[in-house]
Amino acid sequence: MKLPFDFGPKLVFRLGLPGLVLGITTAPLVFAFAHAINVEVDRLEVIAISTVLWGWAISMADMPIYMLYEGRRFLPRPLARWSKRLEQRRLEAIKAHVNDEMASKDPLRYLEESIKLLGFPLNEDGEPEARFPTRLGNLITAYETYTFAKYGLDAVFYWPRLWAVLDKDLREEIDNQQAVADSSIYISFSLLLSAAILVCYAILNGIFRSRLGGVQSPGGLLLSSAGCMLVAFAIYRVSLFAHSQFGELFKGIFDQHKKKVLIEDAVEKIGSLTGDGDALKRPEAERYLMVSRYLRWHRIRPPGEARNYTPEEWKRELRLREEAVKASKVMVRGSR
C-alpha cells in the first residue's frame, strides 16, 4: 500500500517544521487535559502526534495562509491601506534610483534597483505598480501575471494543465524549490499562531490563576510571544528571496514549455459554438483567452460581440435575432 506522502525534505519542510513549532507550543494544553481526565501521557509522544496533526492542518490551510500573507484577505482595512501606502512609497523610492544618472554614476546600484522592480506586477501601461499591501503579494502577482503580459496566457488557469504534461524529474525539481518557499511561510505563520497561544497562556496563568503547568511565568510568556512575532517577521522577509527564485523558475517553465499545453481541440470546439471558422487562425494570445474563458467560466465571446455568453445564451440570442430579422422582413413586405 502506497502512503499518501513521501518521506523526504519536502515532508520535513512543509509538514514537519511548522507542525513541530505548534506541537511544542500546544503541548501544555494537552498535558493539562490529560491530567484533568487522569491519563498519563508521554511528552515525546504528545509532541510527535501534535507535530503531525498541526503540520497536516497547516498544509491544508495553504491557500488562506497565502491570502493573509499576500494581503488579499483577512487584514483589517486600516492596516491594509497603511501597508499598501508603504509599498507604494517603496516602489517610488526604487524608481527614483532607476534613471540614466544612476546608470552612469553607479551601474551596480542601478542594476540592483532595477531587479527590485521585478517584484511588482505591471499595470496596463506596462509600468510596475504596488497592487497589494505586502511585498509577498506584489511579488507573487508579478510572476503570476508575467505570462499574461508576455503571451496573453492566464498562469493561474494554465499552471495545473502545464504541470500535468511536464516530465516527472522536472516536476520534482519544481516541487522541491516550491517546498522551501512554502515552508518559510508555514513556519512564519506557525510562529505567529504560537505567539497568540502564548499570550493566552499568560492570561490564563496571570489573570485567571489557572494551573496550566510546564510554562513560564506570565511575563516570560509575553516576552516569548514577542520573540515569536519577531522571528516570524524575520523568516517572512527572508522567504522573499526563496519566492523570488521560485518565481523566476515559474516564468522560465512557461517560457520553455507552454507549447506542451494543447488547446487546439478546445479552440475548435469554441469555434463551432460561436460559428467562428477562423478560430484556429486567431492570434495565440486570443486563443489562450478563448480557452480559459470557456473552460473556467463556461463563457464564449462570438466574433464582433462586446460581451460574453454561455453557449446556451448564445443559441437563444441567435434565435431571437433570427426571429427579429424575419419580423422586420414581414413588416417591410406589409408596408409595400
- In angstroms, the CA 269 to CA 276 distance is 10
Residue 113 CB neighbour total at 10 angstroms: 19
* Same domain membership, residue 146 and residue 17: yes
* Same domain membership, residue 330 and residue 216: no
From first CA to last CA, the distance across the chain in angstroms is 82
Q: What is the mean pLDDT of residues 61-66?
A: 95
- In angstroms, the CA 103 to CA 11 distance is 45
pLDDT band at 211 (very low <50, low <70, confident <90, very high): low
Range from 119-133, 229-243, 313-327 carrying the lowest mean pLDDT: 313-327
* Same domain membership, residue 243 and residue 190: yes
> Who wins on pLDDT, 1 or 232?
232
* Same domain membership, residue 155 and residue 32: yes
Q: Which residues contact 48 (CB under 8 A, 6 or more apart)?
A: 23
Q: Which residues contact 116 (CB under 8 A, 6 or more apart)?
A: 94
> Looking at the domain assignment, is residue 81 inside a domain?
no
> Looking at the domain assignment, is residue 174 inside a domain?
yes
pLDDT band at 123 (very low <50, low <70, confident <90, very high): very high
* Same domain membership, residue 153 and residue 230: yes
Percent of the chain with pLDDT over 90: 73
Residue 23 CB neighbour total at 10 angstroms: 22
What is the overall mean pLDDT for the chain? 90
Of 218, 236, 259, the residue at which a domain comes to its end is: 259
* Grid coordinates given for 141: 502577482
Nearest to residue 15, comparing CAs of 140, 186, 215?
186
Residue 7, pLDDT > 60, answer no
Range from 42-46, 54-58, 164-168, 228-232 carrying the lowest mean pLDDT: 42-46
- In angstroms, the CA 299 to CA 290 distance is 9
pLDDT tens by residue, 185-208: 999 999 999 999 999 999 988 776
Of 221, 239, 259, the residue at which a domain comes to its end is: 259
- Judged by DSSP in three states, 300 sits in strand
The residues that bridge with 300 in the sheet, in sequence order, are 309
* Grid coordinates given for 142: 508579478
pLDDT tens by residue, 289-334: 999 999 999 999 999 899 999 999 999 999 998 888 888 777 766 6
Within 13 Å of residue 317, how many CA atoms lie on the same side as its CB? Answer: 14
* Same domain membership, residue 270 and residue 218: no
